[in-house]
């Protein structure tokens, strides 16, 4: 029989075993989730874990110990975080006593790859991509929350989950609920962009604020039109509101890292119409190249090629719009129809003629510059009316060149009498003092004009006779030290429409008509005299498929001129070839700039459109 003392020893031993040595667990430990990334919380449920014993109780992930918080160690549940450096392998729980610790396997545990959220900053309605390892995840078994709000998951694979940021989301954790338990994949920041100011006119500086832009510069559009970026950093972007859009509310959108982000709306103030949509900023250039026919009163037509540049830009000044305008025409000197390269002055094809064959663009220049002020618009600015104050110059053709020559008529003929009468005012000038209509004393011959300064050499030993008979009348372009000036004021009408559909399509083809009154020396004989009324029109064809083709025309009508009555024409025989230098027997006279009304018509092509097509 056992003694009383023996029984007491047996009871004490059993009590020790109950407290210090856990029994073999009747429930195999289970980890939830069975896979997770480093830092994720794992809950291990089972039984027989016993009390936490410092220095003995432990949890390891494939041999890498996890930090154990004593309060999270219960006899039937343990909570730990996946330690850094953990790899996929067996999850093990170590229980006491310290002298004889026991390892209990919780099965295989998979370490998920690092998870990335792209973008980490977004707006409600934007899409997020979460990359990592999600074994066993399917679209049906996966859900998510963003900042505590349920999100719509619309694409799932073992390495990528795509979802949409829900309305009402706030900054916070992104949590995926997938087979094996929820996974906190990282932090999400709700973008809160601001536009300052959120309204203004075209060209306004706008600061876009919000921690969403990144270090790499992207693009910003306002109303679908690309805005000029003044500065860019991770938290703010400064832009200029672009010109090519209509008034009213316009969506502002940034493209960051290839992904679009809607930033809000900007309201374009004021009554912004077509003129704002289509005028260039800053001074833009419309380039048109073409061919034209020019006509002057009672003269044959002349033709020439040209290259025209024109543009304008208005700016707010006080309560109005003011700004510069310009136009430059580079062209060949016009060639008369049916002649061997007879050319004339730029804007007056019947001006100083020459038989030189001029074919290079730039041999003649017509420049116009001035100030323009806006009056009013029609059709929401599609047609605008402005007042202009301008001036410029026209270059003359090459001087000091013989252009035409005629045989001098015989003394006593009707042609001689008429020619002497017509040239009397010209020959009264000092430089023609040696030209006389009468033969010098001792001279013989029946010449209409004589050169009294040069004697005629004798022949066969006879002495020289006074004076030389003039047998050729020649005309040459005179040398000029100044351009033909012009000054005028008048009304400009500008017509526009976009190249594409809708008012937000830039650039625009622009046609214009100018009605001006002023003076133009190239029209009025080379001097600033007489008032000249000018209508000058250039306009693209109003057909969408051929708007790059331009037609144009102009007319210059002298007002209140004092041109003497027309005289009867004198028919003289032309001398060929034209003499290249003057001689004692040639009367060389300047070919003056004509004083005649003038008009022209022609066509051309917008080189802007050609350049745009070639660079697409």
Q: How many domains does the chain have?
A: 4
> Between residues 588 and 297, which one has the greater pLDDT?
588
- Answer whether residue 283 shows pLDDT above 60: no
**211-235: average pLDDT:** 83
- Report helix, strand or coil for 426: helix
- The verdict on residue 383 lying in a domain is yes
Signed CA dihedral, 240, 375, 394, 289: sign only: positive
Same domain, 131 and 240: no
* Domain identity same for 30 and 55: yes
Confidence band, pLDDT 50/70/90 cuts, at residue 508: low
- Classify residue 448: in a domain, yes or no: no
Instruction: Give dist(CA 78, CA 75) in Å, integer.
Output: 8
H/E segment holding residue 414: helix 414-427
Q: Are residues 487 and 602 in the same domain?
A: yes
Return the higher-pLDDT residue of 9 and 386. Answer: 386
Of 154, 169, 190, the residue that ends a domain is 190
| Spatial separation of the C-alpha atoms in residues 321 and 339, rounded to whole Å | 49
pLDDT (mean) for 176-205: 80
394 shares its domain with 489: yes
Do 198 and 250 reside in the same domain of the chain? yes
Based on the domain organization, do 101 and 29 belong to the same domain? Answer: yes
Residues 380 and 518 in one domain: yes
User: Residue 430 domain-assigned?
Assistant: no
Which three-class secondary structure string do you get for 144-198?
EEECCEEEEEEEECCCEEEEECCCCCCCEEEEEEECCEEEEEEEEEECCCEEECC
Show Cβ contacts of residue 13 under 8 Å, excluding neighbours closer than 6 positions. Answer: none
Instruction: List the domain range (segments joined by +) for residue 152.
Output: 116-190
Closest CA to 475 of 411, 414, 421, 399: 399
Quick check: is 403 in a domain?
no
Which of 59, 93, 111 lies at the terminal end of a domain, its last residue?
Answer: 111
Report the CATH number at residue 51. Answer: 2.60.40.10
pLDDT at 113 over 80: no
Do 540 and 495 reside in the same domain of the chain? Answer: yes
pLDDT at position 24 is: 42
Domain termination residue (choose one: 175, 190, 205): 190
- Report the alpha-carbon distance of residue 362 to residue 251 in Å, rounded: 47
The candidate with the shortest Cα–Cα distance to 170, out of 152, 187, 182, is: 187
Asked if residue 52 lies in contact with residue 74, where contact means CB atoms within 8 angstroms, the answer is no
585: in domain: no
Q: Which pair of structure tokens corresponds to residue 525? A: 């004989």
- 507 within some domain: yes
Tell me if 158 is assigned to some domain.
Answer: yes
pLDDT at 372: 94
Give the pLDDT confidence score for residue 222 in this predicted structure: 87
Q: What is the average per-residue pLDDT within 301-319?
A: 79
The residue among 209 and 400 whose pLDDT is bigger is 209
- Give the dihedral of Cα atoms 525, 528, 532, 538; nearest 10 deg: 90
Q: Closest by alpha carbon to 552, among 605, 475, 501?
A: 605
Provide CB contacts within 8 A for 546, sequence distance 6+.
Answer: none
Give the 3-state secondary structure of 12-67: HHHHHHHHHCCCCCCCCCEEECCEECCCCEEEEECCCCCCCCCCCCEEEECCEECC
**pLDDT recorded at residue 341:** 29
* pLDDT score recorded for residue 401: 58
User: Looking at residues 282-310, what average pLDDT do you find?
Assistant: 71
In whole numbers, what is the pLDDT of the chain averaged over residues?
77
Residues 210 and 310 in one domain: no
Q: Strands 315-317, 143-146: parallel, antiparallel or unpaired by DSSP?
A: unpaired
How far is it, in rounded angstroms, from Cα 388 to Cα 375? 10
pLDDT band at 501 (very low <50, low <70, confident <90, very high): very low
- In tens, the pLDDT along 483-500 reads 889 999 999 998 876 554
According to the model, what pLDDT value does residue 366 have?
Answer: 86
Do both 232 and 326 map to the same domain?
Answer: no
Residue 439 pLDDT exceeds 80: yes
Residue 281 within any structural domain of the chain: no
- Please state, in angstroms and rounded to a whole number, the distance separating the CA atoms of residues 33 and 185: 14
3-state secondary structure (DSSP) of residue 102: strand
pLDDT, one tens digit per residue, over 255-281 is 887 777 788 899 887 655 555 555 544
Do 301 and 354 fall into the same domain?
yes
Judgement on whether residues 123 and 85 belong to the same structural domain of the protein: no
pLDDT at 329 over 90: no
């Amino acid at each position: 029989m056992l003694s009383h003392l023996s029984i007491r020893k047996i009871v004490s031993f059993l009590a020790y075993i109950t407290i210090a040595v856990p029994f073999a667990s009747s429930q195999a430990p289970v980890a939830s989730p069975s896979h997770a990334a480093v830092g994720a919380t794992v809950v291990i449920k089972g039984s027989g874990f016993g009390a936490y014993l410092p220095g003995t109780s432990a949890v390891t992930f494939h041999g890498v110990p996890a930090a154990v918080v004593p309060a999270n160690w219960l006899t039937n549940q343990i909570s730990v975080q996946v330690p850094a450096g953990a790899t996929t392998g067996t999850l093990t729980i170590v229980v006491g006593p310290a002298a004889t610790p026991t390892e209990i396997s919780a099965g295989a545990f998979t370490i998920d790859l690092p998870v990335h959220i792209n973008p980490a900053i977004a707006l409600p309605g934007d899409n997020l991509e979460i990359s990592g390892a999600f074994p066993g995840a399917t679209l049906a078994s996966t859900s998510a929350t963003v900042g505590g709000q349920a999100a719509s998951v619309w694409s799932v694979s073992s390495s990528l989950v795509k979802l949409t940021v829900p309305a009402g989301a706030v900054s916070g954790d992104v949590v995926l609920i997938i087979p094996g338990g929820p996974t906190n994949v990282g932090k999400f920041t709700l973008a809160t962009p601001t536009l300052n100011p959120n309204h203004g006119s075209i060209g306004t500086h706008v600061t876009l604020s919000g921690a969403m832009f990144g270090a790499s510069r992207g693009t910003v559009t306002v109303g679908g039109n690309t805005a000029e970026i003044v500065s860019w950093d991770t938290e703010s972007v400064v832009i200029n509101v672009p010109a090519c859009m209509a008034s009213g509310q316009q969506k502002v959108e940034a493209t960051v890292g290839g992904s679009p982000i809607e930033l809000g709306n900007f309201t374009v103030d004021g009554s912004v119409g077509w003129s704002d949509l289509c005028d260039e900023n800053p001074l833009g250039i419309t380039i048109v190249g073409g061919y034209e026919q020019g006509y002057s009163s009672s003269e044959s037509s002349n033709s020439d090629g040209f290259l025209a540049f024109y543009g304008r830009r208005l700016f707010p000044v006080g309560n109005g719009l003011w700004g510069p305008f310009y136009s430059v025409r580079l062209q060949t000197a016009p060639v008369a129809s049916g002649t061997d390269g007879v050319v004339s002055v730029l804007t007056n094809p019947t001006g100083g003629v020459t038989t030189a064959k001029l074919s290079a663009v730039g041999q003649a220049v017509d420049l116009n510059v001035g100030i323009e002020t806006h009056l009013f618009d029609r059709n929401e600015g599609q047609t605008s009316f402005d007042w202009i104050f301008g001036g410029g110059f026209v270059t003359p053709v090459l001087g000091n060149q013989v252009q035409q020559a005629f045989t001098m008529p015989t003394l006593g003929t009707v042609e001689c009498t008429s020619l002497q009468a017509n040239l009397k005012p010209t020959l009264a000038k000092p430089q023609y003092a040696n030209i006389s209509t009468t033969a010098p004393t001792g001279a013989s011959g029946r010449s209409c004009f004589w050169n009294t300064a040069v004697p005629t050499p004798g022949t066969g030993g006879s002495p020289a006779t006074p004076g030389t008979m003039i047998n050729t009348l020649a005309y040459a372009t005179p040398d000029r030290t100044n351009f033909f000036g012009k000054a005028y004021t008048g009304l400009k009408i500008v017509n526009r429409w976009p190249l594409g559909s809708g008012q937000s399509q830039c650039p625009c083809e622009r046609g214009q008509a100018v009605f001006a009154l002023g003076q133009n020396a190239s029209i009025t004989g080379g001097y600033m005299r007489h008032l000249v009324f000018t209508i000058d029109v250039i306009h693209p064809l109003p057909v969408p498929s051929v708007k790059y083709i331009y037609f144009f025309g102009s007319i210059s009508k002298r007002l209140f001129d004092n041109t003497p009555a027309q005289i009867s024409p004198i028919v003289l025989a032309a001398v060929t070839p034209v003499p290249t230098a003057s001689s004692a027997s040639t009367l060389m006279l300047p070919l003056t700039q004509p004083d005649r009304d003038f008009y022209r018509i022609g066509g051309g092509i917008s080189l802007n459109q050609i350049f745009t097509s070639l660079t697409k």
